[in-house]
Structure 1
Amino acid sequence: MHKDTILKELEAIIPKEIIKVDEPLKRYTYTETGGKADFYLSPTQHEHVQEIVHFAYKNDLPVTYLGNGSNIIIREGGIRGIVISLLSLDKIDVSDDAIISGSGAAIIDVSRTARDKSLTGLEFACGIPGSVGGAVFMNAGAYGGEIKDCIDYALCVNHKGELITLTNNELELDYRSSVVQKDDLVVVEAAFTLEPGNQEEIQSKMDDLTERRESKQPLEYPSCGSVFQRPPGHFAGKLIQDSDLQGHRIGGVEVSKKHAGFMVNVDKGTATNYEDLIHHVQNVVKEKFDVELHPEVRIIGQHPDE
């Protein structure tokens, strides 16, 4: 389909104001990298998401979902087809011991809402920069907690545009994986079941975790968060540190001197710089320790020469 035709048909099914054409994606990623999206759509209702996905499925158009861009690298060639931003689905409701949140809400804000309502179980998420949808997508976790521990269900849209509800077990949450990833679903809402707690104790735990995070992580630079998954029996950061790779730079991106598990954009780095540095680190660690590092960060989009 021609771009003008796609635009005309999209405007017939969703509000015009949520459609952007040839939108630079570097505006929406923590790494501050990324080319243009053919169509960047910001739905405000579940029904919008369903309409868009059904339209794309019917016309064989690729669809990419974006949360707040905290654990993703988008290549300079951008993304063809449709990009759906979920950030406008950010409503957070509380009902008894449950929090029901739109997938675009920051998981940090959900954690703070739980604290404000004296609900315990989401303290671990107080420093995770991702959206709720992204947190479910990769079963985000930190400091001994993970989404699997507290999620009740997720409302998702499948590739045909159908709305489905998946329970905790049906989500198949495992280390940095879920059925959302495997079946190419998109989360539009999630419900978390928590326990009544003491607000002061909850705040104290969050303060402790925040202090630990700020003292160890390079939050002063743009980054994609923790780059690699934890290899069995090892810690990625320790392997990288012991390979003398801290401070190693390609272009404007370097392995953080503060935390070896992070790569930071210190001087107008590009997605290609990130990818090249990731491959270099993988090769050095493999050669030195015979351990394969697998990226935790998602790398998507087209290379600039494609």
Structure 2
Amino acid sequence: MHEFDSFDPSLLSALAMAAGEDNVVMSEPMRAHTTFKIGGPADVLVTPETPEALVRVLDVCAMGPVPVLVVGNGSDLLVGDRGVRGVVVLLRENLAAIEVEGSRVRAQAGALLRDVAIAAADAGLSGMEPLWGIPATVGGACFMNAGAYGGSTSDVLESIEAYVPGPELPDGSRASGRVRTFSREELSMGYRKSRVHDDGLIVLSATFSLVPDAPEQIRSAMDDFQRRREEKQPLEMPSAGSTFKRPEGYFAGKLIMDAGLRGARVGGAQVSEKHCGFVVNADGATAADVNGLIEHIQAEVKQQFGVDLETEVRRVGEF
């Protein structure tokens, strides 16, 4: 494995050839690429502009071997204060094309769910309404089977096109990967989980199967979901969405509120006073602040109610 204090010039050259020189930058602060507005520098950040370039970048990293983290909107991530070693591949705005054909919508991995839902509504296609306010890209939504208000990505997903990592070689590197299509049934999608996560697949695009409906009805439902979000969620403050998964038989936010933790703080991190299921960046929080508050919440809820809270937020990088 490469040492990243002095990044291998030949690897940088290979990444530049794969993605274009202007699309490779070093020591990029990840706080600029997460909704938490927290995170140290990525050794190298790459923004491929085509599916072919993305595949080339992933192959370069696999054969390095170099650790690679694919990031969409950064809406479910807590990046460590010391940053991310290796290569971060950013898919947002780039690789964001959306196409509507009949009752299907095909979107590249970097497209925001919001934009997919708007395109569907414009075409008179229903099904994306509960998902449209989730600040995720299509790739991220498939990775964690994102959902809200009783709807999940798996409800409308028909298939994905994904990069499958190649087999590991004796020197620790991997052979070139391959691209294949997976049906929804092949993806083992459950509550905030999928085969995309478990098998390390990298989503290139997804196809959603929707139902025709009157555009005004679809827009009305979208507006209703948005009002509910604005009333109940701290959308005005940086966060990574719901901090904890819903424990069976409970609601995380209510457990945290009942534990007397509304407004609790560690450094700049705070339990939202508007919705206790959210930890927010109230005042220049560090990843260490957020981690400390998460651990405090987990300990208090376990002690008071005997319930283990599992984080929905993914912690990546070095803390």
Please, what TM-score do these two structures have when normalized by structure 1? 0.97
- Indicate the residue corresponding to 2:173 in structure 1: none
State the distance in 2 between where 1:6 and 1:116 align. 44
Q: 1:12: how far off?
A: 3.0
State the distance in 2 between where 1:112 and 1:138 align. 21
1:85 aligned to 2:90? Answer: yes
Q: 1:144: how far off?
A: 1.0
Counterpart AA for 2:269: V
- Indicate the residue corresponding to 1:105 in structure 2: 111
Q: Secondary structure at the match of 2:9?
A: helix
Write out per-residue CA displacement over residues 26-58 of structure 1, whole angstroms, 9 at most, x where no aligned residue. Answer: 111111111111110001111111111111111
Counterpart AA for 1:108: R
Q: Secondary structure at the match of 1:224?
A: coil
- Indicate the residue corresponding to 1:18 in structure 2: 23
- Indicate the residue corresponding to 2:273 in structure 1: 257
Counterpart AA for 2:26: V
- Indicate the residue corresponding to 2:242 in structure 1: 226
Larger deviation, residues 12-21 vs 34-43: 12-21
State the distance in 1 between where 2:40 and 2:201 align. 24
CA contact (8 A) 1:236 1:261 kept: yes
- Indicate the residue corresponding to 2:170 in structure 1: none
State the distance in 2 between where 1:156 and 1:86 align. 14
Q: 1:62: how far off?
A: 0.4
- Indicate the residue corresponding to 1:247 in structure 2: 263
Counterpart AA for 1:287: Q
Out of 88, 96, 99, the residue aligned to residue 102 of structure 2 is: 96
- Indicate the residue corresponding to 1:238 in structure 2: 254
1:27 aligned to 2:32? Answer: yes
Task: Show the 5 A alignment for 1:33-48.
Answer: 33-48=38-53
Counterpart AA for 1:201: Q
- Indicate the residue corresponding to 1:153 in structure 2: 159
1:120 aligned to 2:126? Answer: yes
Structure 1: which 5+ residue stretches go unaligned? none
How many residues in Structure 1 have an aligned counterpart in Structure 2?
303
Counterpart AA for 1:137: F
Out of 292, 297, 301, the residue aligned to residue 317 of structure 2 is: 301
Task: Show the 5 A alignment for 1:266-305.
Answer: 266-303=282-319
Q: Secondary structure at the match of 1:296?
A: coil
State the distance in 1 between where 2:209 and 2:185 align. 14
State the distance in 2 between where 1:174 and 1:112 align. 25
Counterpart AA for 1:184: G
Instruction: Tell me the percent identity.
Output: 41
Counterpart AA for 1:4: P
State the distance in 2 between where 1:111 and 1:12 align. 35
Q: 1:146: how far off?
A: 0.6
State the distance in 2 between where 1:13 and 1:123 align. 37
Q: Secondary structure at the match of 1:127?
A: coil
Q: 1:188: how far off?
A: 1.1
Q: Secondary structure at the match of 2:186?
A: coil
State the distance in 2 between where 1:71 and 1:13 align. 28
Write out per-residue CA displacement over residues 165-212 of structure 1, whole angstroms, 9 at most, x where no aligned residue. Answer: 110101111000000000111111000010100111111111111111
Please, what TM-score do these two structures have when normalized by structure 2? 0.93
State the distance in 2 between where 1:269 and 1:99 align. 38
